[in-house]
Amino acid sequence: MIRSIRARVTLLFLLAMLSALSAFAIGIWLRQRDSVDYRELQRYVQSQAELAIRIIMQAETRGPVTVVRDSLVGETLTSELASAMEVIPDYLLVIDRTGRSLYVSEKARALPDSDRNVLFSRALDIEADETRATLLTLGVDKLFLSARDEKTSRSSIARIVAGSSARPTEDTWRESQIALRRSLLVLLPVALLIGGVWAYIIGGVAVRPITTIISELEAITDGRSLHRRLGGADAQGDELARLTSTLNAMIGRLENSFGGLRRFTADASHELKTPLTVLRASIERAMMARRGSNEQMECLEQALNEVTRMADLVNSLLSLARADEGRFDLVRDVVLLDSMLRDIAETATILGEPNGIEVVVSECEPLTVEGDAPRLRQLLLNLVENAIKYTTVGGTVELSLSTEQGAAVLTVKDTGMGIAAADLPFIFERFWRADRARSRKSGRGGTGLGLAISQYIAQAHGGTLTAQSRLGRGSTFTLTLPGAVRRDVSRPETSPPRVA
Ligand code: ADP
């Protein structure tokens, strides 16, 4: 297993090159092997036959071209013509009308008897064609023959057959084959070597930015350097630039969540530290007080309050932790939103009474959604509690339920102190409170987790929770839940909402 990309790229490139070059070499070799080119030789044989005819015709203009030497040999070419014919170096036969040879070139005479007989009989029966040469296999040799019939001759010459061996052509071809094979055997490794070196260099150049990114990443991922970003290959807009920007975005998200985690841990410890300190002081005082005295009861009551507060806080933290893990399991049921809203309004009226806060339900359409009734109730209760908590004496809290494009829209509107525009983006963050000190002192000691949990509940239902507010004028929290169904109010409630 090769570990470096550079080595792998080089190897793959070499394999690709090897296969391409091999295919190329095999292609060339196959083409060469199949085609010994005899055309040149055929043309040569034809030209030799042509030459012989011309020599004879010329000789005929000067006188008879044949003589009778003796009764045994019969007619032959004149010695003058015979020596003129010697200029044709290969096989040449001059045949008379009776099929006897008038002249046999030296090369043909040198053939063994059997081969000469074969040559002679083929010479008699091949076609006299000016455009073709006929192949004749003689033992190990091959001859190309070209015949010409001499019809106009005044002498007894009837046919001329010229021939030439294919061996030199084949030898030349064989040599070129060997030369080709040799050059391929030499060139192939050389080409592979050059290709390999280049692939290694190119691989190195291509991988270098990745190596840079790896070194930079190694320096960043120790957790404390998450504010740093990769700068390496961002100029070109190529894949590496995309990788860099994706990694940078990822580091950004990591930085945020690390920061969030750090803040969360600090906040959570701080939130637990205060009630623990109070609890400790209360218990100490209770221990010192006289048994059963009023002071002891007061201290224990205070301790109980703090324990309740801490239990609430721990419960909220647990809900958020579950939500973070994606274990915010919802029970899916039909929830009668209008009944729930009226129920909540009643609770709000009781909560608002001490401060003379009026609670009104301005609109309440009979709607149902699929969802987790206790969770939705927790959400609405939290909004209503906040509205009462942050509304001054004599204020109003208005609740409404309507539909908008198939979604249920629940609003909780108050005439309270409102939230500054600069604070508005943070109110759904964990532990965020507009004014911690004041909240605690004024008895509005919330944990700063209520809205964070509420938003989780809304999102888990596929809905949204948003806030609008103006400092000193009041706030409106809007919960939108998809899949609202209008309920038939003439029928009794079939599935009453479960109360948390
Ligand atoms: P808390 O337990 O402090 O109420 P929440 O998460 O419910 O925590 O709210 C976060 C902060 O948002 C509050 O501390 C308060 O500053 C602000 N806030 C929430 N609801 C209202 C409201 N109706 N009017 C004014 N401020 C609000």
* Ligand 1 close to Cβ of residue 390 (< 6 A): yes
* Ligand 1 close to Cβ of residue 414 (< 6 A): yes
* Ligand 1 close to Cβ of residue 160 (< 6 A): no
Q: Tell me: the pLDDT tens digits for 217-245? A: 888 877 678 888 888 655 567 888 888 88
What distance in angstroms lies between residue 427's CA and the mean position of ligand 1's atoms?
A: 7
Q: Tell me: the pLDDT tens digits for 60-93? A: 888 878 877 777 777 888 888 888 888 888 899 9
Pocket test for ligand 1, best of 419, 439, 444, 457 (most atoms within 8 A of CB): 419
Pocket test for ligand 1, best of 451, 478, 479 (most atoms within 8 A of CB): 451
Q: Which of 499, 339, 319, 328 is nearest to 408 (CA)?
A: 339
- The alpha carbon of 359 is separated from its chain's Cα centroid by a whole number of angstroms, namely 59
Q: Give the position, in ligand 1's atom list, of the atom nearest the Cα of 391.
A: 24
* Ligand 1 close to Cβ of residue 474 (< 6 A): no
| pLDDT score of 286 | 93
* Ligand 1 close to Cβ of residue 447 (< 6 A): yes
Q: Tell me: the pLDDT tens digits for 365-416? A: 999 999 999 999 999 999 999 999 999 999 999 999 999 999 999 999 999 9
Residues in contact with 480: Cβ distance below 8 Å, sequence separation at least 6, in sequence order: 404, 407, 408, 409, 410, 458, 463, 464, 465, 466
Instruction: Indicate the pairing of strand 358-364 with strand 396-404.
Output: parallel
DSSP 8-state assignment for residue 493 = P
Q: Tell me: the pLDDT tens digits for 326-379? A: 777 788 899 999 999 999 999 999 999 999 999 999 999 999 999 999 999 999
* Ligand 1 close to Cβ of residue 446 (< 6 A): yes
Residues in contact with 349: Cβ distance below 8 Å, sequence separation at least 6, in sequence order: 359
Say which residue, 89 or 440, is predicted with more confidence: 89
Q: Is the pLDDT of residue 174 over 90?
A: no
Q: How is residue 335 written in tokens?
A: 């929830």
Q: Is the pLDDT of residue 1 over 70?
A: no
* Ligand 1 close to Cβ of residue 419 (< 6 A): yes
Q: Is the pLDDT of residue 441 over 60?
A: no
What distance in angstroms lies between residue 63's CA and the mean position of ligand 1's atoms?
A: 138
Q: What is the mean pLDDT of the chain?
A: 87
Q: Tell me: the pLDDT tens digits for 251-302? A: 999 888 888 788 888 888 888 888 899 899 999 999 999 998 999 999 999 9
| pLDDT score of 287 | 93
Q: Tell me: the pLDDT tens digits for 465-490? A: 999 999 999 999 999 999 999 988 77
Q: Give the position, in ligand 1's atom list, of the atom nearest the Cα of 451.
A: 6
Look at ligand 1, atom 4, and give the residue with the nearest C-alpha: 446
d(CA 179, CA 183): 6
d(CA 425, CA 434): 11
d(CA 96, CA 106): 18
d(CA 178, CA 224): 70
* Ligand 1 close to Cβ of residue 386 (< 6 A): yes
Mean pLDDT of 101-115: 89
d(CA 192, CA 184): 12
Say which residue, 237 or 318, is predicted with more confidence: 318
Helix (H, G, I), strand (E, B) or coil at 402: strand
When pLDDT is cut at 50, 70 and 90, the band that residue 34 belongs to is low
Q: Give the position, in ligand 1's atom list, of the atom nearest the Cα of 382.
A: 7
| pLDDT score of 233 | 52
Helix (H, G, I), strand (E, B) or coil at 68: strand
What distance in angstroms lies between residue 387's CA and the mean position of ligand 1's atoms?
A: 8
d(CA 161, CA 101): 11
| pLDDT score of 317 | 87
Q: How many CA atoms lie within 13 A of 86 on its CB side?
A: 8
Question: Hey, what amino acid is at 324?
Answer: D
DSSP 8-state assignment for residue 156 = S
Residues paired with 486 in a beta bridge? 367
| pLDDT score of 432 | 85
- 8 A C-beta contact, residue 227 and residue 255: yes
- Which range is least confidently modeled, 173-187, 227-241, 366-380, 428-442? 428-442
Say which residue, 384 or 130, is predicted with more confidence: 384
Question: Hey, what amino acid is at 491?
Answer: R
* Ligand 1 close to Cβ of residue 313 (< 6 A): no
* Ligand 1 close to Cβ of residue 38 (< 6 A): no
| pLDDT score of 496 | 47
Question: How many percent of the chain have pLDDT more than 90?
Answer: 43
Q: Order the strands of the 367-371 sheet from edge to edge.
A: 333-336, 367-371, 485-486
What distance in angstroms lies between residue 386's CA and the mean position of ligand 1's atoms?
A: 6
Q: Give the position, in ligand 1's atom list, of the atom nearest the Cα of 452.
A: 6
When pLDDT is cut at 50, 70 and 90, the band that residue 499 belongs to is very low
* Ligand 1 close to Cβ of residue 476 (< 6 A): no
Question: How many percent of the chain have pLDDT more than 70?
Answer: 93
Look at ligand 1, atom 7, and give the residue with the nearest C-alpha: 450
Q: Is the pLDDT of residue 443 over 70?
A: no
| pLDDT score of 47 | 92
| pLDDT score of 488 | 81
What distance in angstroms lies between residue 451's CA and the mean position of ligand 1's atoms?
A: 7
d(CA 78, CA 60): 11
Say which residue, 423 or 491, is predicted with more confidence: 423
Look at ligand 1, atom 19, and give the residue with the nearest C-alpha: 386
Helix (H, G, I), strand (E, B) or coil at 278: helix
d(CA 345, CA 391): 15
Q: Give the position, in ligand 1's atom list, of the atom nearest the Cα of 446.
A: 2
Q: Which long-range contacts (CB under 8 A, 24 or more apart) does 285-291 make?
A: none
